[in-house]
Structure 1
């Protein structure tokens, strides 16, 4: 089953294709699912900056930037070991 967000994006894509305006599309989404409707900002982003310019996918863009590589089981164990060893000392020298 589609998530509510994806379902609403599919609906927005359809509304763009049938020529509805942003205001009409947002009002329709609010009418159908007022409690879980995308925010006005999100609707604007998907409607005008994605579907209106020809985007077809309703999935989120991949995240940019470097992936978190420091949080590994090996690193967690190393840090834990350092902390346990430090507890045994009398503090900084």
Structure 2
């Protein structure tokens, strides 16, 4: 995960714990991270998850095809 995303998720978590609304949180994220900020939808999604009790700022494991595959052919 990118450091930028992790920092923003931590900021969103703090705002949610302090009782800020999702709109207030998004405004703060925009102010601090400006052009590198998450989309409004992402901020609202993470804010809701933290309000609902989520503690981790890390991505959850997902099923499906792995991002990187190492075979004998492409191994260093």
Q: Which has the higher contact order (CA 8 A, sep 6+)?
A: 2
- Highest Rg: 1 or 2? 1
Q: TM-score, normalized by length of structure 2?
A: 0.81
Aligned alpha-carbon RMSD (Å):
2.2
SS class of match (1:33): helix
- Is 1:63 the equivalent of 2:57? no
For residues 47-88 of structure 1, give each alpha carbon's deviation from its aligned partner in whole angstroms, at most 9, with x where no partner exists: 11x1011010100111113558x8622xx59xxxxxxxxxxx
Counterpart for residue 51 of structure 1? 50
CA distance, structure 2, for counterparts of residue 38 and residue 64 of structure 1: 24
Give unmatched runs, 5+ long, in structure 1. Answer: 78-93
CA distance, structure 1, for counterparts of residue 61 and residue 40 of structure 2: 22
Give unmatched runs, 5+ long, in structure 2. Answer: none
Counterpart for residue 4 of structure 2? 4
Aligned positions of 1:33-48 closer than 5 A: 33-48=33-48
- How many residues are aligned here? 72
Q: TM-score, normalized by length of structure 1?
A: 0.67
